[in-house]
Structure 1
Amino acid sequence: MAALGALLLAGTACESSGADGSDDFKASDRPSATSSPKAGETASAKPGGGSANTGGEASNGDSAAVVACAEGDLAFSATNEDEEGKSVRHLLLTVTNTGNKRCNVYHYPYLKFDYAREAFAVIKDSEDAPATLAPGEKAYAALLASGGGMDTYDTNTIPLSLQGPNLGSKVSEPINLDLPGRVAFDDGARVTYWTTAPGLALRFIMSS
């Protein structure tokens, strides 16, 4: 009997904990900066198809990892930021999360014409953390079309590719983004990193 009593005491169930220790990922507060007044109309595009899972998971160690934004879950637009009557040199590129979950836009828009030897250079001082977009939120990159270089090329569209977590990796084929009219690009063109503050992006190009 003594042995049976000891066995019963040893088999007493322990109370299990209900906490899982995980918190939902929260996007950072968005800066209140706004873009300069629009001088021309905005061109936009919404590619079809795609899934937000195509970019893979961000390696941030969070249990609720945020995936890279996919082409099919974003709407794209380009806005002229120059005064009316002036040549279009300063553009604001915008992506809007039209999907149903958060996703990341990494690094900067990869812009390269088919005939060009290299992609557009990036303004390194604009480097920022990945822009995490909840449904309906936007990210911005500023584009300086001409910087006094050579090899001028006039076009009303530009090929844009999204990058993955690793710099230089791509999660989309080039998207032919409509521009607000014909724009003259040269080999002095520059683009900024994605950011959630349009005014911050434009600050890097409006003095040029």
Structure 2
Amino acid sequence: MRNAAVAATALLAALSLTACQSADDNADDRKKPSASAPSTSAPAAGSTEPAPDAKSPAADRTKQPTADAKPTPKGDGKAGGGSGPVTTACTDANTKVTVTKVSRPINHLLLTVTNTGSKACNAYHAPLLRFDDGQAATPIMDESKPQAVVTLAPRQSGYASILLASADGSGQNGGTAKTLAVIFAPRDGSGSIGAPHVLALPADTYTDDTAAVSYWQSDMSDALTY
């Protein structure tokens, strides 16, 4: 009986030891990393990309201007980025003026102004005229005012007509004139600009107090309608 009890005790001790060793082996297995699990802290083998830097996000860097960036200057909304060429006034210094007698309309003279300069000039308003030594300028025909200022390119001509006397003979203080002074008006139409062109009139040029002059015109036929 005693031998049987000793044997049973020995068997129980062996079984207990085996169970403990099995439990320890399972615990060790759980501590080992799986061979198939990917690493989250290192790049894959053969990769050339560096690990991401949490302190320098790429999205923020793309929004920053570079050191060489310069602001775009604001334009003035004009073609060429600036004002256009300045056109000077026509005066005695950059023009030639001639006067001729015409058959139609009757009692008329034709003034022709030609740009002799190297730049365009504007023939503003109407020519200011004085016959002989007259003190008052010849009246201007308001109805002849053009829609735009007459601009003359180099060697280009403009025109104005001169009514010498009314066709019905209603004018007074008539007489024969020998010379005509032609003076240019400035842009604002106040006073005159430059020196006068003094022209010899065609022989027997008769004028009275109904005399008048048209505005400068770009076309000769337009000037002779007044």
**TM-score band, normalised by shorter chain:** 0.5 to 0.7
Deviation of 1:192 after TM superposition, in Å, equals: 0.3
CA separation of 1:71/1:62 partners in 2, compared to 1, >3 Å: closer, same or farther?
farther
Q: When the two structures are superposed, what TM-score results if normalisation uses the length of structure 1?
A: 0.66
Deviation of 1:96 after TM superposition, in Å, equals: 0.3
Measured in 2, the distance between the counterparts of 1:22 and 1:184 equals 52
Aligned-residue CA RMSD (Å): 2.9
Q: 2:150 aligns with which of 125, 131, 134?
A: 131
Deviation of 1:15 after TM superposition, in Å, equals: 8.5
Give the partner amino acid of 1:70.
T
Deviation of 1:10 after TM superposition, in Å, equals: 4.0
Matches within 5 A, 1:171-186: 171-186=193-208
Residue 67 (structure 2) aligns with:
11
Q: Indicate conservation of the 8 Å contact 1:77/1:178, yes or no.
A: no
Q: Which has the higher contact order (CA 8 A, sep 6+)?
A: 1
Residues 163-198 of structure 1 show CA distances to partners (whole Å, capped at 9, x for unaligned) of 000113211222212223231111110110001111
Residues 42-97 of structure 1 show CA distances to partners (whole Å, capped at 9, x for unaligned) of xxxxxxxxxxxxxxxxxxx95322110121211111111127xxxx7211100000
Measured in 1, the distance between the counterparts of 2:179 and 2:164 equals 12
Measured in 2, the distance between the counterparts of 1:170 and 1:118 equals 13
> Of Structure 1 and Structure 2, which has the larger fraction of its residues in strand?
1
Matches within 5 A, 1:51-200: 63-82=84-103, 89-113=107-131, 115-128=133-146, 129-147=148-166, 148=169, 149-200=171-222
Report whether the alignment pairs 1:201 with 2:223.
Answer: yes
Measured in 1, the distance between the counterparts of 2:154 and 2:218 equals 13
Q: 1:22 aligns with which of 73, 79, 82?
A: 79
Q: Indicate conservation of the 8 Å contact 2:141/2:215, yes or no.
A: yes
Measured in 1, the distance between the counterparts of 2:191 and 2:112 equals 20
Q: When the two structures are superposed, what TM-score results if normalisation uses the length of structure 2?
A: 0.61
CA separation of 1:130/1:14 partners in 2, compared to 1, >3 Å: closer, same or farther?
same
Deviation of 1:16 after TM superposition, in Å, equals: 6.4
Give the partner amino acid of 1:146.
A
> Of Structure 1 and Structure 2, which has the larger fraction of its residues in helix?
2
How many residues are paired up?
158
**Percent of pairs with identical residues:** 32
Larger Rg, first or second structure (1 or 2): 2
Measured in 2, the distance between the counterparts of 1:62 and 1:10 equals 34
